[in-house]
Amino acid sequence: AQKITQTQPGMFVQEKEAVTLDCTYDTSDQSYGLFWYKQPSSGEMIFLIYQGSYDEQNATEGRYSLNFQKARKSANLVISASQLGDSAMYFCAMREYDSGGGADGLTFGKGTHLIIQP
């Protein structure tokens, strides 16, 4: 079973509108972290936002916020006031933490290709 599911392969959004990118996850661990990355055509992975499983408040970073619904195992990314430069691939990812303090590598979803239209 997929650990990270992103159901929107592509999205077209009008500039200045808000956009929500969906992400659901599957884990039996109590301790984990959820990440969102942006990947422009250059290929670099740009970190956007992080939510820990024990964080009670939704994470926010500038125009990015993470709508964390733990019971539903969802971690949607919300981008407010979208800009043309937001056009890129967006990946949701999860990192599971073991009791020894170590951490696994990231498991990524398939991504959403977001295109902002003027």
**Binding site residues, another protein, CB under 8 A:** 33, 35, 37, 42-45, 47, 50, 52, 91, 93, 95, 97, 101-111
* Shortest Cβ 16–another protein spacing (Å): 28
* Shortest Cβ 31–another protein spacing (Å): 9
Q: Name 42's Cβ contacts closer than 8 Å, sequence gap at least 6.
A: none
**Cα(80)–Cα(29) distance, rounded to whole angstroms?**
31
* Shortest Cβ 63–another protein spacing (Å): 17
Q: Which is nearer to another protein, 41 or 118 (by Cβ)? A: 41
Strands (E), the chain: 4-5, 10-14, 19-21, 24-25, 32-39, 46-52, 60-61, 64-69, 74-79, 88-96, 107-108, 112-117
Q: Parallel, antiparallel, or unpaired: how do β-strands 32-39 and 88-96 relate?
A: antiparallel
* Shortest Cβ 117–another protein spacing (Å): 21
Q: Which is nearer to another protein, 86 or 111 (by Cβ)? A: 111
Q: Which is nearer to another protein, 18 or 103 (by Cβ)? A: 103
